[in-house]
Amino acid sequence: MTLAYVALGSNLGNPKRQVLDAMDALAKLSATRLLQRSHLYCTPPWGLLEQPPFVNAAAELDTALSPHALLDALLAIEQQAGRVRTERNGPRTLDLDVLHIDGVQLDDERLTLPHPRMAERAFVLLPLNDVAPALWLPGQGVVAELLGRLDLAGCERLLAP
């Protein structure tokens, strides 16, 4: 079993419900245990700014799945939530990203680990800091320190459902 970290986000339909349902789906993955859930955060859109704000979260998993098997499982959860991939950084019912898997550095056509752009994104680091503030991301730094360098304007922790 290996620790893995996943980012969750949604800004279409009922984003809060989409993220909570995805957390439940993560807890049901084979050969995987959901260890921790972050708080939910409302965050401004990234990239394409003319879209609704996002609800974001992070999860810590203990998994025996390979990196690509975990990615495939996340894509299946997205598809079950009605995700249609039409554009990068656009609105979506659900977005699940493998952020980091302990001991794994990978860069192929399907997956790059650790996630190459997470150190720039408050909507990723803010919830990840809830579950793993001391996590060292190879080539990037420690989650809490990286978060301290970012502008958190427009990011707000949501109350529990």
CATH of the domain at 107: 3.30.70.560
**What confidence score (pLDDT) does residue 87 get?**
63
Residue-wise pLDDT tens digits, 28-39: 999 999 999 999
Helix (H) or strand (E) holding 27: helix 15-27
Counted domains in the chain: 1
**Residue 74 Cα distances to 58, 86, 138, angstroms:** 13, 17, 23
Label residue 83 by pLDDT band (50, 70, 90). confident
Q: What is the pLDDT of residue 27?
A: 97
This prediction's pTM: 0.95
pLDDT of residue 86: 67
92, 117, 149, 157: the catalytic one is 92
Q: What is the pLDDT of residues 90-116, one digit of tens each?
A: 788 999 999 999 999 999 999 999 999
Question: Could you confirm whether 37 is annotated as catalytic?
Answer: no
Task: Using the predicted structure, report yes or no on whether residue 161 has a pLDDT greater than 60.
Answer: no
83 annotated active-site: yes
Catalytic residue from among 95, 107, 108, 110: 95
Active-site annotation holder among 37, 83, 121, 130:
83
Active site residue 92: yes
pLDDT at 49: 72
What range defines the domain where residue 32 resides? 2-157
Per-residue pLDDT band for 84 (boundaries 50, 70, 90) equals confident
Q: List, in order, residues 6 or more apart from 131 with CB less than 8 Å away.
A: 5, 35, 36, 37, 38, 58, 59, 60
Mean pLDDT of all residues in 60-70: 98
- Would you give the end-to-end CA distance of the chain in angstroms? 31
Q: What is the pLDDT of residues 119-160, one digit of tens each?
A: 999 999 999 999 999 999 999 999 999 999 999 999 999 976
- The answer to whether 75 touches 60, Cβ cutoff 8 Å, is no
At 127 the pLDDT is 98
The CA distance from 86 to 131, in Å, is 31
